[in-house]
Amino acid sequence: MDTLNAQIGASPAKTHKRAGWRTFLLWVLPVAFLLYFFYQPLAAIFKLVFSPGFKAGWQLFTPAAVARIFFFTFYQAALSTLLTLLVGLPAAYVFAKFDFPGRKGLNLLSLIPFILPTVVVASAFNTLMGPRGWINLGMMALFKLSDPPLKLLNSLPAVLLAHVFYNSSIVIRMVGSALGRLNPRLTEAARSLGASNRQAIKEITFPLLKPTVIGAALLVFLFDFTSFGVIMMLGGPRYATIEVEIYTQTMQRLNLPVAGLLTLIQLVFTLLLTFLYNRIKHPKYGKAAVSSEAQNLKKPRGFREKALIWVVAVVIVLLIAMPLLSLVSRSVFTLDAARGERGAVSTGFSLRYYQELFINRTGSLFYIPPIEAIRNSVSYSLATVLISTVIGVITSYALANPSMLSRHLEPFIMLPLGASAITLGLGYLIVFNRPPWNNPSFSLLIPIAHSLVALPLVIRVLLPAIRGIPSNLRQAASVLGANRVQVFLQVDLPILLRALLASVVFAFTISLGEFGAASFLASPLKPTIPVAIFRFISQPGALNYGQALAMSTILMLTCAAGTVLIGRIRLPGEELY
């Protein structure tokens, strides 16, 4: 009763003032974290671009070279986006409109690539169409060839194919979800008024889907524009994008001013894309146009509908299943060069590549067994989970409190979504290349950089759940004498549990597979899994290649398991479908 009387007796002005102070205090840690670990490195990059050494950098790198790299980056991103839409839009239509055997499994398969790290995608395509991939090995054995006949690696088609593989799930998920919720009675009404199917799609369906399609295209373009691992491993030096050139100028040529300029150009462009995406991604239609997705599904009728389903199914299997199966199978098969007959190969099932992960074959103090890279990545990922979850929960609660401060700080908090990991890596090298940040035994910069990459996603998962907590439950707990900590533990936490666990899994898998920042910050003695995969697959020898594939397979299975876990997390009393 004392608590109730105190609440009743409190004036609205005092209550509002206390709420304002609580919101202000919630913002202190997130703002300080971003100022120190995100905006300070960005400012250092800007300062570097206009430093006295900048002119000296131009002696090795001309403005024409910058323009050429930018336009190629734009060109390959635009072409990749177009091809992704050509694959993703028909698949989205099939999954949104038709109910057929194997639909759920095929839909799940189509969504797997997006959660995979880029090094895994590159490794998968390497095992399928690389010089030591299944296609070349089969053709060499069939036609008795001594050299691989298919030379797709280090080419633009390989990059485009990997980008379509990687990003088609974005189009399928976004457009398919929006299309599946559209009320079919709208097009039925148009047909009853004399419109043909083509007119109904042009006048009704497409205008309603247009914001979603544009938003999906912008998001795909953003990912293709900032692609690093795929370009690095499948494109080669001839097809360098801005991200790859930043890495080359920094790590190989030590030309930091030019690397800073490229980073500035990329950052401005990606922030523009992020701004456009945030402005147009939400469809502008009301509840009358929305219905249950399950109600829109129908059995395919006629030859055209069945043929479309078969074509989409075959494309998804060939594009997605084959590279993944190729990666797994190639990691458990040892292949030896021919003995006797020219061009032949001998294969056999073996777990040798996985066993070699635990062995220091060279016996050198400077050689790191692959299992050490796995341990490093796990430790970095656990630290990332801790940092991103704590900052993400506090930030989400601050954003959930409607205030002028929250409205102004939300873009400030979400800005890292438009910055690439390469940008963070370069900024950290400039600002934090000193003790204790560059400690070779455990670099705090790696989980911090990974936390900045994961933080926007963690907030997007937690914020809707926090806003959905009924305020009357908190008020009832306060009336019964619970303090703020008890309200959080007894009311908020049970409701937030699933979203919290999902954000933890997201942060863990993002850190586990992040390659861009780790390629700058990881010590040679403390590499992460993606860095180790890149090192091993770049070295000659079947054993190095096999160990890279074994690590890629482990990383792929871990990320896939995390995605399945997110979908199956349920609270007590919830039904599992």
Q: Is the pLDDT confidence value at 208 over 90?
A: no
Q: What is the pLDDT of residue 83?
A: 95
Q: Is the pLDDT confidence value at 247 over 80?
A: yes
Q: Is the pLDDT confidence value at 44 over 70?
A: yes
Q: What three-state secondary structure class fits 347? A: strand
Question: What does the block give as tokens for 66?
Answer: 């910058």
Query: Of 144-148, 394-398, 477-481, which one has max mean pLDDT?
Result: 394-398
Q: What is the pLDDT of residue 32?
A: 92
Mean pLDDT of 103-124: 83
Domains of the chain: which residue ranges? Answer: 62-338, 351-570
**520 in Cβ contact with 530 (< 8 Å):** no
Q: CA angle 210-211-215, nearest 5°?
A: 115
Q: What is the pLDDT of residue 370?
A: 81
Q: What is the pLDDT of residues 171-185, one digit of tens each?
A: 988 888 877 777 666
Q: What is the pLDDT of residue 314?
A: 92
Count CB-CB contacts under 10 A for residue 346: 11
In whole angstroms, what is the distance from residue 86 CA to residue 77 CA?
14
Q: Is the pLDDT confidence value at 494 over 90?
A: no
Nearest CA among 270, 278, 230, 249 for reference residue 419: 270
Confidence of residue 342 (pLDDT cuts 50, 70, 90): very low
Q: What is the pLDDT of residue 191?
A: 67
> Percent of the chain having pLDDT more than 70?
81
Q: Is the pLDDT confidence value at 284 over 60?
A: no
Q: Beta 346-349 vs 333-336: how paired, if at all?
A: antiparallel
Q: What is the pLDDT of residue 66?
A: 81
Confidence of residue 210 (pLDDT cuts 50, 70, 90): confident
Helix and strand element counts for the chain (H, E) = 29, 2
Confidence of residue 391 (pLDDT cuts 50, 70, 90): very high
The residue with greater pLDDT, 439 or 340, is: 439
The residue with greater pLDDT, 447 or 575, is: 447
Q: Is the pLDDT confidence value at 8 over 50?
A: no
Architecture of domain 351-570: Orthogonal Bundle (1.10)
Average pLDDT, the chain: 79
The residue with greater pLDDT, 449 or 366, is: 449
CATH number (1.10.3720.10, 1.10.10.10, 1.10.260.40, 1.10.10.60) of 62-338 reads 1.10.3720.10
Q: What is the pLDDT of residues 549-566, one digit of tens each?
A: 888 888 888 877 776 666
Q: Is the pLDDT confidence value at 316 over 50?
A: yes
Mean pLDDT of 87-99: 88
Confidence of residue 291 (pLDDT cuts 50, 70, 90): very low
Q: What is the pLDDT of residue 37?
A: 92
Q: Is the pLDDT confidence value at 455 over 70?
A: yes
Q: Is the pLDDT confidence value at 77 over 90?
A: yes
Q: What is the pLDDT of residues 504-522, one digit of tens each?
A: 888 888 888 888 888 888 8
Min mean pLDDT across 290-294, 344-348, 412-416, 510-514 is at 290-294
Min mean pLDDT across 26-30, 101-105, 248-252, 427-431 is at 248-252
Q: What is the pLDDT of residue 540?
A: 76
Mean pLDDT of 83-98: 90
Mean pLDDT of 7-33: 67
The distance of Cα 175 from the centroid of its chain, to the nearest Å, equals 18
Confidence of residue 19 (pLDDT cuts 50, 70, 90): low
For 118, phi then psi, to 5°, come to -65, -35
Q: What is the pLDDT of residue 20?
A: 62
Q: What is the pLDDT of residues 145-160, one digit of tens each?
A: 877 888 887 888 889 9
The residue with greater pLDDT, 70 or 364, is: 70
Count CB-CB contacts under 10 A for residue 435: 7
Q: What is the pLDDT of residue 347?
A: 60
Q: What three-state secondary structure class fits 362? A: coil
In whole angstroms, what is the distance from residue 470 CA to residue 266 CA?
42
Q: Is the pLDDT confidence value at 57 over 80?
A: no
Q: Which long-range CB contacts under 8 A does 64-72 form with residues at least 24 apart?
A: 66/258, 66/261, 66/262, 66/265, 69/240, 69/241, 69/242, 69/245, 69/262, 70/242, 70/265, 72/239, 72/240, 72/241
Confidence of residue 107 (pLDDT cuts 50, 70, 90): confident
Instruction: Tell whether the torsion through CA atoms of 169, 239, 512 and 264 is positive or negative.
Output: negative
In whole angstroms, what is the distance from residue 300 CA to residue 308 CA?
9
Q: What is the pLDDT of residue 487?
A: 77
Mean pLDDT of 481-491: 77
Count CB-CB contacts under 10 A for residue 107: 17
Q: What is the pLDDT of residue 87?
A: 93
Min mean pLDDT across 226-240, 340-354, 383-397 is at 340-354
Q: Is the pLDDT confidence value at 343 over 50?
A: no
Q: What three-state secondary structure class fits 365? A: coil
Q: What is the pLDDT of residue 202?
A: 67
Nearest CA among 511, 406, 501 for reference residue 454: 511
